[in-house]
Amino acid sequence: MKRKSQAESAVPRGGLAALSLAQGKRARLWRLLYASGPANGTLMVLPLDQGLEHGPTDFFPNPPAIDTAYQVRLALEGGYSAIALGVGLAEKYLREHAGEVPLILKLNGKTNIADDAEATSPAFATVEDAVRLGADAVGYTVYVGSPRQDQEIREYGKVRRECERLGMPLVVWAYPRGRDVEAKGGKGSLYAQDYAARVAEELGADVVKLHEPLPETDGCPEPYRSLREDAPARLRRVVRSAGRVLVLFSGGVKNDDDAAVLRKVTLYMECGATGVMFGRNMWLRPMDEALALTRRVRALLQRHPR
């Protein structure tokens, strides 16, 4: 794909301008927003941490995807803003393409073998690893509302400090999780996603990855329980709660209906998202279909410069 020149893309960068960033953070975030992918202030990120989070199970629908070279090729040929990988995959598969696609180094993760009642996500890499590998951001999961939130938040705080010290943008996977979240309506509820968005802002994320909130409000605390909002209203609400943090929406499980996927992207962007982080919806498709869908998502993002 052809990269946009800096001049071409640099016009409407509201999102970045509104942030108070150390110079290194700004430089790296600018690269992600205006010199990579759609390069118009939006973000199209290809994540691959499902092998750790869910196991090889996730690759069964598209066996070639077990080989990370598949996702790297997709990220490169599809012109993504960045690929998000843990240190193991980044070191083994991205080295030969270092510099060709920006890296978001995912620092922590866990398996799903034990259940999520007391979920916590340990780090196995550091912000210094990200610097060493030439990454343009780090990714970090925070399990919002987990019974072990004190450990979650404390460990997060150390990563945030390191990001500050090294000028590294911080992308927070803000995931409501744990038995108390389930008792209050579940991790997908508007209550949970809205709270997670705010937590990301309060904790000092630069970018937050969220899930589209579900319509069900059973079990949620008030005022959410009585709230009846349609999908756009729900999305706008969580984007608003994230404040000046750039919001990416997750794709979640694979949807075979391309048109539905594209409608989602349009909806997210119209509701204020900065972009999308779609994994399984991309790399579980055969390469030609994945590239075709990628091009259409890119085209949609092009229509929503930030």
Examine residue 136 and tell whether it contacts its own copies (CB under 8 A).
no
Site for its own copies in 166-185 (CB under 8 A): 176, 178, 180-181, 184
Site for its own copies in 140-169 (CB under 8 A): 144-147, 149-154, 156-157, 160-161, 164
- The residue among 195 and 268 lying less far from its own copies, judged by its C-beta, is 195
Supply the DSSP symbol for 293.
H
Long-range contacts of residues 127-130, Cβ cutoff 8 Å, at least 24 apart: 127/159, 127/162, 127/163, 127/165, 127/166, 127/168, 128/162, 128/166, 129/87, 129/105, 130/103, 130/105, 130/166, 130/168
CB of 167 to its own copies, least distance (A): 13
CB of 107 to its own copies, least distance (A): 9
Site for its own copies in 225-284 (CB under 8 A): 237, 240-241, 243-245
The mark string for 192-231 relative to its own copies (x by CB under 8 A, - otherwise) is: --xx-xxxxxxxxx---------------xxxx-------
Site for its own copies in 15-34 (CB under 8 A): 18-20
Is 175 an annotated catalytic residue?
yes
- Catalytic residue, chosen from 106, 187, 209, 264, is 209
- The residue among 14 and 56 lying less far from its own copies, judged by its C-beta, is 56
- The residue among 25 and 304 lying less far from its own copies, judged by its C-beta, is 25
- The residue among 39 and 101 lying less far from its own copies, judged by its C-beta, is 101
Q: Residue count at the site for its own copies (CB under 8 A)?
A: 79
Q: Where are the alpha helices (DSSP H) in the chain?
A: 6-9, 14-17, 23-34, 50-53, 69-78, 87-93, 127-132, 149-166, 179-183, 190-203, 231-241, 258-270, 280-283, 287-302
**Stretches 1-9, 139-147, 210-218, 291-299: which one binds its own copies (CB under 8 A)?**
139-147
CB of 12 to its own copies, least distance (A): 19
**Stretches 2-10, 38-46, 190-198, 281-289: which one binds its own copies (CB under 8 A)?**
190-198
Q: Which residue in this structure is represented by tokens 């070191």? A: 91
| 3-state secondary structure (DSSP) of residue 9 | helix
What's the start-to-end Cα distance of the chain, in Å?
A: 21
Site for its own copies in 48-107 (CB under 8 A): 49, 51-52, 55-57, 60, 66-68, 86-89, 91-93, 95-96
- For residue 293, the tally of other CB atoms under 10 A from its CB is 19
CB of 2 to its own copies, least distance (A): 28
- The residue among 77 and 180 lying less far from its own copies, judged by its C-beta, is 180
CA distance 143 to 152: 7
CB of 19 to its own copies, least distance (A): 6
CA distance 302 to 306: 10
Supply the DSSP symbol for 4.
P
DSSP secondary structure string, 108-138? B---SSS-STT----BSS-HHHHHHTT-SEE
CB of 53 to its own copies, least distance (A): 9
Q: Cα 207 vs. chain centroid, distance in angstroms? A: 8
Which residues are annotated as catalytic? 175, 209
